[in-house]
Amino acid sequence: MHDRLAANSDKEIMTEPIEFDPVDKIGAGAFGRPGERTFVIQAHKGAAVLSILVEKEQVALLVAEAEQFLDRIADDEPEEAATTVELEVNGPVTEDEPLFRARLIGIGYDPDRRLVLIELREEAVEEGEQPPSFETSEGHIARLYATRAQVRAMVTHGAASVAAGRPRCQLCDFPMDPDGHVCPRWN
């Protein structure tokens, strides 16, 4: 996956979009020790694994937005219930070196193919602006196409990963480390 860079005529480096169309598996979550976890969106296609670094808050927002988005689609186009296998296979992530950090995450739906598109971009845009086309984008772009059942499983696991953070101090509400906590309110 890391050899996707190609030079254009101006000798600038342009990144071709990475597409997993469709994914075999998709997940959102974290790996690592509490307090030092790495959050990723991860997709599998055949033997290829793509991990994209995200913030915990981005996973929380994606979970909320994706759930609402899927519910709106289901109002017009009922979805089939996810199988137990789909729920077990999709959702969890494994430790892997992320290719890039996502600064922009979008979600869409292709009704003809009945697939959800999750697009992750390395280049950030200002609020209200349209993202640049991949030809003019200065960072990586990943497009992950998944079934609604796969995305629902990703949402479930992503929410659990966000909630599984360090316990919060009852006095200061800061996260407590497993090795101890120096509460600023005790001073």
Using one digit for the tens of pLDDT, what is the confidence trace for 127-183? Answer: 666 655 545 557 899 999 999 999 999 999 999 999 888 888 888 888 887 777 788
CB 36 within 8 A of CB 56: no
| Residue 40 CB neighbours (<10 A) | 27
**Is the model more confident about 76 or about 117?**
117
Burial class (CB in 10 A: 0-12, 13-18, 19+), 103: middle
Dist CA 171 CA 162 (whole Å): 21
CB 60 within 8 A of CB 162: yes
Tokens of 54: 């995200």
Dist CA 32 CA 59 (whole Å): 16
pTM, 2 dp: 0.78
pLDDT of residue 83: 72
Residue 5 has pLDDT above 50, yes or no: no
Tokens of 145: 């196409």
Residue 100 has pLDDT above 90, yes or no: yes
